[in-house]
Amino acid sequence: MSGTPATPEAYLARLPDVQRRTLSNLRGEIRAYLPEAEECMSYGMPGFRQGRMVAGYAAFKHHMGYYPHSGGIVSQMTELLSDWKTSKSGVLFTPETPLPRDILHRLIDLRLAEIAAMPPTPKGH
């Protein structure tokens, strides 16, 4: 496996079955919640953009991660995310402990509210 995959499909195709199924489910959940969002690759991971990046996901050797592309979202949900390992920028999970729909939706809603409060992105960026 050389190079960075160019599409979310190519990224998922490289994964072991269990991770592919888990992240495909997450992807479908995000797509259903953000039907207007554009799927893309950002920072080497698949994600969804609505003007700015809203959500991303990635697989690693022993876990997977959900990334709101913001350093301020995860810290707003410390109590709700107490069953998962978190960092400033993401939530780590396994196939046995995926993110529940309500928590995923809350993470997305917080990011959308954060984006709405930002000044518009200058054209050409």
Give per-residue pLDDT as tens, 20-59. 999 999 999 999 999 999 999 999 999 999 989 999 999 9
Report phi then psi at 36, rounded to 5.
Answer: -90, -10
125: pLDDT strictly greater than 70: no
pLDDT digits (tens, 9 = 90+) for 69-120: 999 999 999 999 999 999 999 999 999 999 999 999 999 999 999 999 988 7
Q: According to the model, what pLDDT value does residue 4 have?
A: 84
pLDDT at residue 119 in the model = 84
Q: Give me the residue spans of the domains in the chain.
A: 8-116
Which residues, in sequence order, are bridge partners of residue 64? 59, 93
CA 72 – CA 111 distance, rounded (Å): 9
Max CA-CA distance within the chain?
42
CATH architecture observed for domain 8-116: Alpha-Beta Complex (3.90)
Q: Are strands 91-93 and 85-86 parallel, antiparallel or unpaired?
A: antiparallel
The reported pTM is 0.91
d(CA 89, CA 35): 24
